Amino acid sequence: MSKTNYVDTVLEIVKKRNGNEPEFLQAVQEVLGSLRPVIADHPEFEETNLLERLVEPERQIIFRVPWQDDHGKMRVNRGMRIEFNSALGPYKGGLRFHPSVYIGIIKFLGFEQIFKNSLTGLMMGGGKGGSDFNPKGKSDSEVMRFCQSFMTELARHIGADTDVPAGDIGVGGREIGFMFGQYKRLTRKFEGVLTGKGLSYGGSLVRTEATGYGTVYFCNEMLKEQGQSFDGKTVLVSGSGNVAIYAHQKATELGAKVVAMSDSGGFVYDANGINLDTIQQLKEVQRLRIHEYTKQHPSAKYTEGFTGIWSIPCDIALPCATENELDGEAAAALIKNKCIAVAEGANMPCTPDAVHNFIAAGVSFGPGKAANAGGVATSGLEMAQNSQRMSWTFEETDQKLHQIMVNAYNVSKQAADQYGTPGNLVNGANIAGFMKVANAMLAHGLV
Ligand code: NDP
Ligand code: 2IT
């Protein structure tokens, strides 16, 4: 088998075994596509079938989650946890509660997480989990009963040194609290088994803000490369959840104006800037839809459909909602409107066509596995604080987060240079993330 064919051979195997999981295939194709020059340089990876091992999760757990709704009716959802790779540490990654969740989504997220966690420089393996449970419209009691049932099964598989879940779409502080309570009750252990915990029971300052802040810190490094900054720039932020809100906050702090935000129903646009207090009240406190925003801000305009946001002229775009929310056409519109930088706050929000268009047009592009690594990095800092039984100040933690993001940018940029595609942070992040994991796997022998 020739060296250049090794990647194609593995891709064929992955397609054959996971043909009905398009998101997982997309993620694997992107990473392996970047690795061709590395594989050519390192015959030991092919000799040890390292890629075949890398694309197969170490463990996949799928379970029934029975729960009772407020009317006493028995309901059932599917729960899952993919423990993908533990070469660098305990499995680490979020839980997603959304009706679209199935094994292919969790595998794509778990696969991305391996390289993302590697890029943080902290010792964390890759994992992901979740359920097709839809928290929208459910009462707090229903969410609690679901979380308790979900944890009743999950508890036997996780632990502070084994597998440490956190939040993702549909899982925030409320859900983490319910799951932590149930874990503690079942195991009689008060330990750092989840991150994103409340500050009163072992959470870390900055974890709530971390993904959004980190994305802006990363994007700021991309802008510096062009001799630019956030100051005075017009920014689009898609989504209005955890990542989007704190991306808005940090971009605004650095002098930018965020003119649009969205949810799965549509987007609001206001040339004078989107008021973050109103968004936080609507989304974090009241859990309402974003169209409610215009009631308080009549100058803002609501448009149905969440993809239209990308046709608004901007300097910087931060997709912070969900996978494949920004396609080739949307990228073409952003390029036409002279957008200079795109950083992915969400996981895989840009389709392969969109990424291709940005890179071909010379738009500075920050891939999610590097640009949104701030969330899991700060989860790693939460684990460190839990192990020490200490907590650090906001400033100290934020400084560490900032340094991790600058470092993730630098290692990605260096790897892109070293392997012949200067400026291509997609290749750079994939290669830099991969090398550390691959070398650890080699050191561990046949695992
Ligand atoms: P939240 O649940 O807090 O918010 C999600 C936002 O995205 C909401 O505005 C939601 O709208 C929108 N959204 C979700 N699904 C869809 C969809 N299918 N179509 C359109 N819009 C959608 O989640 P997060 O902010 O935590 O996560 C956002 C993204 O960031 C995800 O890709 C996640 O994997 C990624 N991420 C999160 C990290 C974290 O620490 N939380 C860390 C790194 C990445 P609606 O309310 O209408 O559903
Ligand atoms: O996609 C992600 O990196 C997350 N949802 C955060 C994971 C974590 O363990 O903090």
DSSP 1-19: --HHHHHHHHHHHHHHHST
Q: Exposed, middle or buried, 304 (CB in 10 Å: 0-12/13-18/19+)? A: exposed
Number of H helices, E strands in the chain: 18, 12
Residue 332: name the closest of 318, 346, 351 by CA. 351
- Amino acid at residue number 102: Y
The conformation of residue 206, written as its DSSP 8-state character, comes to T
Instruction: Give nearest CA residue, ligand 2 atom 10.
Output: 376
Q: 239: CA distance to ligand 1 center in Å?
A: 6
Q: In whole angstroms, what is the distance from residue 229 CA to residue 410 CA?
A: 17
Dist CA 219 CA 399 (whole Å): 16
Q: Where in the chain is the domain with CATH 3.40.50.720?
A: 210-366
For 206, 400, 401, the CA distances from 395, given in Å and listed in that order, are 9, 9, 10
Question: Ligand 2: which atom is nearest the Cα of residue 167?
Answer: 5
| Superfamily of structural domain 59-190 | Leucine Dehydrogenase, chain A, domain 1 (3.40.50.10860)
Task: Name the residue of 168, 246, 381, 382 whose CB sits within 8 Å of the most ligand 2 atoms, as the mutation to test its pocket.
Answer: 168
Cα-to-centroid distance, 136 and ligand 2 (Å): 21
Q: What pLDDT, on a 0 to 100 scale, did the predictor assign at position 1? A: 46
Nearest to 56 by CA among 16, 90, 94: 16
Give start-end residues of each CATH 3.40.50.10860 domain in the chain: 59-190
Q: What are the strands of the beta sheet with 125-131, ordered from one edge?
A: 59-68, 74-85, 125-131, 91-97, 163-166
Q: What fold, for 210-366? A: Rossmann fold (3.40.50)
Say how far apart CA 246 and CA 264 lie, in whole Å: 18
Q: Give residue 225's pLDDT.
A: 98
Instruction: Please choose from 348, 376, 383, 404 the residue to mutate so as to test ligand 2's pocket, defined by most ligand atoms within 8 A of CB.
Output: 376
**Reading across the β-sheet that carries 234-238, which strands appear in turn?**
301-304, 266-269, 257-262, 234-238, 316-319, 341-343, 364-366
Ligand nearest to the CA of 163: 2
* 390 three-state secondary structure: coil
List the residue whose alpha carbon is closest to atom 11 of ligand 1: 263
pTM beyond cutoff 0.85: yes
Backbone angles phi, psi at 368, to 5 degrees: -50, -40
Structure tokens at 213: 């802040």
Which residue type does 316 have?
Answer: I
Give 235: exposed, middle or buried? Use CB within 10 Å, 0-12, 13-18, 19+.
buried
Between the CA of 436 and the centroid of ligand 2 the distance, in Å, is 19
Residue 200 burial by Cβ neighbours in a 10 Å radius (0-12, 13-18, 19+): exposed
Query: What pLDDT score was predicted for residue 419?
Result: 97
Annotated catalytic sites, by residue? Answer: 128
**Predicted confidence pLDDT, tens digits, the chain (447 residues):** 454 599 999 999 999 999 999 999 999 999 999 999 999 999 999 999 999 999 999 999 999 999 999 999 999 999 999 999 999 999 999 999 999 999 999 999 999 999 999 999 999 999 999 999 999 999 999 999 999 999 999 999 999 999 999 999 999 999 999 999 999 999 999 999 999 999 999 999 999 999 999 999 999 999 999 999 999 999 999 999 999 999 999 999 999 999 999 999 999 999 999 999 999 999 999 999 999 999 999 999 999 999 999 999 999 999 999 999 999 999 999 999 999 999 999 999 999 999 999 999 999 999 999 999 999 999 999 999 999 999 999 999 999 999 999 999 999 999 999 999 999 999 999 999 999 999 999 999 998
Per the CB < 8 A criterion, the answer to whether 338 and 312 are in contact is: no
Q: Which residues line ligand 1 (CB under 6 A)?
A: 98, 100, 167-170, 211, 239-244, 263-265, 306, 320-322, 325, 345-347, 372, 375
Closest atom of ligand 1 to 323 CA is 32
Count of alpha carbons within 13 Å of 159, Cβ hemisphere only?
7
Ligand closest in space to the Cα of 192: 2
Q: Are the CB atoms for 207 and 378 separated by under 8 Å? A: yes
Q: Backbone phi, then psi, for 52, in 5-degree steps?
A: -60, -40
* Cβ < 6 A, ligand 2 pocket: 92-94, 113, 116, 166, 168, 195, 347, 375-376, 379
Q: How far is the CA of 345 from the centre of ligand 1 (A)?
A: 9
Q: Residue 3: what pLDDT?
A: 44
